[in-house]
Amino acid sequence: MTEIKLLQSSGPILAVKFVDSLLLSGEGPHLVANDVSTTSRVFQKLAFKKNKIHGIAVSSKNVVGLWGGRSLAFESLAGLLDEKHAIEELAINDWIVHVGFSTDGEVAYVLTSHNLVLVINVTTHKILSSKSCGEKSLLYSGYVSVTGTEVTVAAGTVMSGIVIWNLATETIAHNLKGHEGSIFGVRISDDGKKLISCSDDRSIKLWDLETGKNIATGWGHGARIWHLQFFQKNTKILSTSEDCTVRVWDAESEDLANVEVFNAHQGKNAWCGDVNEEIGIIATGGSDGRLRIFDVQESKREGAVIKQWSPESVSDATETPFTNNEIFKEYVAVAGGVVCVTSEGSLFFLNKELQWKLLLKDPRFAGFSLVRSFEIENVVVVTSKDGTHLLIKLAEDGSVQEQKSFQTEGLKGKVTNVLVTTDIDTMMMVVESPVPSDPFVLYVFSSGLDVKSTLKLPKPDTRFVSSSLAYDVQNDWILISSRYTTLVMYELSSQTLLHTWKKFVPGDTVSSVRVSLSAKNKVVFSVVIRDGSYYYLEVTNEIGEIQSSILGENRIQKGFLEGMLESDNGDILLYGFRSSQFFVWNETQQYEVFTETCGGPHRQWLFKRLEGDSFMFMYTRASSINVRVTGKFPLHSRAINVGNNGREIRSISIQQKVRADRTNLMLTGSEDTCIRLSVVDDAKHIKNVWSERKHVSGIQKVKFIDSNLAISSAAREELFVWSIDDTYPKRPYISVLATLAPTSANPDLRIMDFDTVPVLEAEKTVGYLLATVYSDSAIRIWYFDLKSRSFKLLVEDRYSTCCLLDAALITREAALYLMTGATDGYISVWNITEILDSSLSVSGGKCLLQSLKTDASTKLPECLVKQQIHQSGIKSVDIRSTPEAVYIITGGDDNSLSLLRLFSRNPSSLEVLSLVANAASSTITSVEFIPDSLKVFATSVDQIIRIWDYSVDDQLTLEKKEYVTVADTGCSAVASIGDKPIGFVGGAGLSVYSLEI
């Protein structure tokens, strides 16, 4: 028996609701409960067969009401918590907009999108009555408010504002007009006195329900607002929006001041939210399948700090007179707190109890000084312009335990920078002057603050202004970064310059270098560039020569980067500035974890990760020192579900090769222009590792072409070859190996599809033949050379004027064919063996490199086959080669599926073996042969996946179909993982199925 079993799914979250510390969320048709106090999942239950959960309400008797589409359920919380208990799906005959409960919890008021209320007994599920105000036009939103025995309905219409009516009398109390466009959200305060609403006009309006007057209007969201709710005794309003932000508004201010903005979701749409006032958190759900938590009471958490000190207040607290113009200069972190130097050379210490203390005052450091610290050793070093250094070791209580002074001699220039780094028992400091002939002077200190060694490292022969330092103990390599994206590496013991990377990537200043991984003769450095990009640079010395390659690279969407950290669970955290904000971004999981509006990057600042992923950010603003510590709170700004792409997934590719830890790599491309590399584990959980932002337009296709190579294509003729390095257990890395240059300036030209065939020389893959097909009907065939990473155009031609949709290269024994599918429904095949002959030859089903032609490209020969298979566009094609013939499966925009055969009898005929006209009730977007079977997996926009069998007389017969919750179902991938075919289905979400055939 063929079965299709759902293993995992993620998709838009449309409803969230707190019941104490239990957070209920509607994830597609599933009801999920997470306990936020432990951040663990309590249950996941199927609520509805097909419909998604759009709303959740809880009665006074702890009965949970769920609704979505015309489906409905009432379940006691106890029942839900019982593992064996299944949710009973009920239904009415119309779309449900909202469900309210009576005060005693006995009856539910179900509001339909035709402004009708069904009064239903919660226990017996009997309809008691049906109520209406006589106005039955369509609603986009609505709310049933119950205060005592009074039931009021707020109905958000398409064109006629908000209709407020009384359930008992079925009479209209108010018709609130003032919004433009359809009303997308309404809520009544729990005292029944006020109403908030939002519409297509992107504003929030607060109304007085007694008078029907608009009290205030708030603006701020950059797109439509979907959800609103009151909290904190109706003094605050929560809103979630299409612009992905979640905002808090002051309901008591004149024009609804926007007091907080959270960047909550990715791509598009923060759909829903709820507030837990007891814990002080907001939960939100979005299109990206994420469940986010925001701390709205951060200042009350254990260890949380928000504080500010002016120079006067520090002067008062330490009883140290400040001179008139004395200001805070630099500050650095030490184990016990922070050390700050003033413009007069005073050193202050701020301990963890937030008490200030004067350490010392040294006039040598008045005016100009540089302060650095060896944090773990609790050591600070202060340097003056003329190279005088003072090393200070602090005791636990912050008193000066020891201090030593020494001088850098022999530099022609003044000291302009000091860089430090620490490793096990090594404190290292590099002193720099701007004079090119001055070497870097490097000191290694003992824990007793003695200079163990002084080394002179010659500067590289290029413009160099140092910015960051990293030391790898294992190989004794020291890497110094500079502006102009230049790096220099030395071997310390021999004081030799090993390698210089001059402008190794585009960009300007390197903000930070760090050792990410280290092995014998091999180090991976992380390199962060201020303009927003970062790289993983692998440096090896395995053949007696320094070699390097970029393993991974990416960039953030907005802002400047100052550095990178790793969180406790190995996630990459990037931090920097974006206009007036400092931010910390979890790059692995793609969400913001911290922001502080500090005025921008041009100021003194200090950022530190504390234990348990708490953060400290300190900065100077208007000459005062500000500090914020997030405190110990596990729910501080996090994602319970990480979700996936924020927009529709358009292409999926699975790396068949199983990795050492029994996981597989997966690539997805989505409308949000991101290429995501993820790891699929044994249970088919998908964990995102990289979200690559190289494309600027929506992805058409992404595909692994080999074990460590992939290609992606998009609109604007973008095509990248990606290299995937999976040699490090920590994480796989992905970087761009090559970029195919656009052939025209037409920004509308899209590369619709591509295919590749490996090209061998001496039994080794040296390159790939790459066929690309375009929206202007162009066809190109390239040779991509692995070594030079370059593309050579071999064939260039045009199909007709219609848009091509599919490309496939088919190798037979001694011939190579190109096949295309197009919007006109035709399949065309060319034998391209001869036209490639002088460049490549085909033998034994393999493509062999001959001598590449260097002259102009050729045209395609006369086509072998041109046959109409579908009435309109061929959306998807898959190919299976057997020794006897080539089988082709195609899925069309015309709802039909066809099985074709090439080469079996007549080499130039395409046989239609089987054609199913109404194979789906909508466009078939993806078809795939299931490995090791005579079956096909088909995905269509009607949200049904089907398995077809063709083992009997090559006739397609439907074997199994299954509903998928992923809407806009647009792509699929079938891979044999652990001997079992696994189907991945993408669209507005991603679902994984085991195909039991």
Partner 1 sequence: MGKSSKDKRDLYYRKAKEEGYRARSAFKLLQLNEQFQLFKDVKRVVDLCAAPGSWSQVLSREIFSRDEPDAKIVAVDLQPMASIPNVTTLQADITHPKTLAKILEIFGGEPADFVCSDGAPDVTGLHDLDEYIQAQLILCALQLTTCILKPGGNFVAKIFRGRDIDLLYSQLGYLFDKVICAKPRASRGTSLESFIVCLGYRPRPGWTPTLREDGSTEEFFEGSGIGRASLRDDLELEEEERVIAPFIACGDLSAYDSDATYTLEEGFSSTSLDPVQMPTAPPYKKALEMKRKGLLK
| Among residues 6, 19, 42, 92, the one that binds partner 1 under rule CB under 8 A | 92
CA dist 578 to 30, 363, 483, 585, 586, Å?
38, 37, 20, 11, 15
Edge-to-edge strand list for the sheet holding 764-774 = 790-798, 778-785, 764-774, 751-761, 846-849, 840-843
- Write the Ramachandran bin of 244: left for phi over 0, alpha for psi from -120 to 50, otherwise beta: left
State the minimum distance, in angstroms, from the CB of residue 720 to partner 1: 20
Token pair recorded at residue 816: 């190579």
| Residue 294 or 633 having the CB closest to partner 1 | 294
Give the containing element (helix H, strand E) for 722: strand 719-725
Counting contacts by CB under 8 A, is residue 45 touching partner 1? no
State the minimum distance, in angstroms, from the CB of residue 120 to partner 1: 7
| Residue 50 or 503 having the CB closest to partner 1 | 50
Pick the stretch among 49-57, 296-304, 629-637, 725-733 that binds partner 1 (CB under 8 A).
49-57
State the minimum distance, in angstroms, from the CB of residue 990 to partner 1: 15
By rule CB under 8 A, what string of x and - marks binding of each residue 240-259 to partner 1?
--x---------------x-
| Among residues 7, 42, 215, 261, the one that binds partner 1 under rule CB under 8 A | 261
Q: How far apart are CA 421 and CA 407, in angstroms?
A: 19
- Buried-state track 635-654, b at ≥16 Cβ within 10 A, e below 16: bbbbbbbbbbbbbbbbbbbb
Q: How far apart are CA 942 and CA 37, in angstroms?
A: 40
Q: How many residues bind partner 1 (CB under 8 A)?
A: 99
Counting contacts by CB under 8 A, is residue 14 touching partner 1? yes
Subset of 286-305 contacting partner 1 (CB under 8 A)? 287
| Among residues 61, 136, 412, 456, the one that binds partner 1 under rule CB under 8 A | 136
Counting contacts by CB under 8 A, is residue 313 touching partner 1? no
Token pair recorded at residue 461: 């022969």
| Residue 325 or 801 having the CB closest to partner 1 | 801
Counting contacts by CB under 8 A, is residue 961 touching partner 1? no
Amino acid at 793: L
- Dihedral of the alpha carbons of 604, 610, 613, 618, in degrees to the nearest 10: -20
Counting contacts by CB under 8 A, is residue 126 touching partner 1? yes
| Residue 247 or 935 having the CB closest to partner 1 | 247
| 416 neighbors 387 (Cβ within 8 angstroms) | no
Subset of 645-674 contacting partner 1 (CB under 8 A)? none
| Among residues 103, 160, 426, 521, the one that binds partner 1 under rule CB under 8 A | 160
Q: How far apart are CA 580 and CA 595, in angstroms?
A: 10
Counting contacts by CB under 8 A, is residue 224 touching partner 1? yes
Cα(first)–Cα(last) distance of the chain, in Å?
7
Counting contacts by CB under 8 A, is residue 824 touching partner 1? yes
Pick the stretch among 143-151, 264-272, 289-297, 756-764 that binds partner 1 (CB under 8 A).
264-272
Beta-ladder partners of 228: 239
Token pair recorded at residue 593: 């974890």
Q: How far apart are CA 577 and CA 560, in angstroms?
A: 5
Counting contacts by CB under 8 A, is residue 490 touching partner 1? no
| Among residues 172, 215, 465, 967, the one that binds partner 1 under rule CB under 8 A | 967
543 contact partners, CB below 8 Å, separation of at least 6: none
By rule CB under 8 A, what string of x and - marks binding of each residue 94-123 to partner 1?
xx----------------xxxxx-x-x---
- Buried-state track 65-78, b at ≥16 Cβ within 10 A, e below 16: bbbbbbbbbbbbbe
Subset of 878-917 contacting partner 1 (CB under 8 A)? 893-896, 917
| Residue 137 or 496 having the CB closest to partner 1 | 137
| 655 neighbors 647 (Cβ within 8 angstroms) | no
Q: DSSP letter at 95?
A: -
| Residue 268 or 676 having the CB closest to partner 1 | 268
| Residue 341 or 715 having the CB closest to partner 1 | 715
Q: How far apart are CA 378 and CA 493, in angstroms?
A: 26
| Among residues 127, 306, 395, 473, the one that binds partner 1 under rule CB under 8 A | 127
State the minimum distance, in angstroms, from the CB of residue 823 to partner 1: 5
| Residue 201 or 538 having the CB closest to partner 1 | 201
Subset of 832-871 contacting partner 1 (CB under 8 A)? 871
State the minimum distance, in angstroms, from the CB of residue 798 to partner 1: 11
Pick the stretch among 66-74, 411-419, 569-577, 620-628 that binds partner 1 (CB under 8 A).
66-74
Beta pairing class for 440-445 and 426-432: antiparallel
| Among residues 921, 958, 980, 996, the one that binds partner 1 under rule CB under 8 A | 921
| Residue 746 or 843 having the CB closest to partner 1 | 746
State the minimum distance, in angstroms, from the CB of residue 775 to partner 1: 4
From the DSSP assignment, how many helices (H) and strands (E) are in the chain? 2, 85
| Residue 242 or 692 having the CB closest to partner 1 | 242
502 φ, ψ to 5°? -90, 125
State the minimum distance, in angstroms, from the CB of residue 805 to partner 1: 8
| Residue 203 or 614 having the CB closest to partner 1 | 203
Subset of 759-818 contacting partner 1 (CB under 8 A)? 774-777, 801-803
| Residue 509 or 914 having the CB closest to partner 1 | 914
Counting contacts by CB under 8 A, is residue 926 touching partner 1? no
Query: What is the 3-class SS of 22-33, one letter each residue?
Result: EEEEEECCEEEE
| Among residues 199, 511, 588, 828, the one that binds partner 1 under rule CB under 8 A | 199
Q: Is 571 helix (H, G, I), strand (E, B) or coil?
A: coil
Token pair recorded at residue 327: 């200001």
Pick the stretch among 64-72, 299-307, 361-369, 534-542 that binds partner 1 (CB under 8 A).
64-72
| Residue 140 or 536 having the CB closest to partner 1 | 140
Edge-to-edge strand list for the sheet holding 305-309 = 305-309, 624-629, 614-621, 605-610
| Residue 298 or 776 having the CB closest to partner 1 | 776
Q: Which residue has the tokens 């190996």?
A: 737
| Among residues 182, 320, 604, 881, the one that binds partner 1 under rule CB under 8 A | 182
| Among residues 271, 365, 445, 619, the one that binds partner 1 under rule CB under 8 A | 271
State the minimum distance, in angstroms, from the CB of residue 92 to partner 1: 6
Pick the stretch among 330-338, 658-666, 907-915, 960-968 that binds partner 1 (CB under 8 A).
960-968
By rule CB under 8 A, what string of x and - marks binding of each residue 929-948 to partner 1?
------------xxxx----
Amino acid at 872: S
| Residue 286 or 732 having the CB closest to partner 1 | 286
| Residue 422 or 581 having the CB closest to partner 1 | 581
CA dist 86 to 54, 57, 993, Å?
19, 18, 22
Q: How far apart are CA 539 and CA 495, in angstroms?
A: 18
| Among residues 23, 24, 32, 72, the one that binds partner 1 under rule CB under 8 A | 72
State the minimum distance, in angstroms, from the CB of residue 325 to partner 1: 35
Contacts 24+ apart (CB under 8 A), 727-734: 728/517, 728/524, 729/660, 729/661, 730/516, 730/517, 730/570, 731/570, 731/689, 732/665, 732/677, 732/679, 732/689, 732/690, 733/536, 733/551, 733/552, 733/690, 734/552, 734/677, 734/690, 734/692
| Residue 492 or 916 having the CB closest to partner 1 | 916
Q: How far apart are CA 361 and CA 342, in angstroms?
A: 9
| Residue 150 or 180 having the CB closest to partner 1 | 180
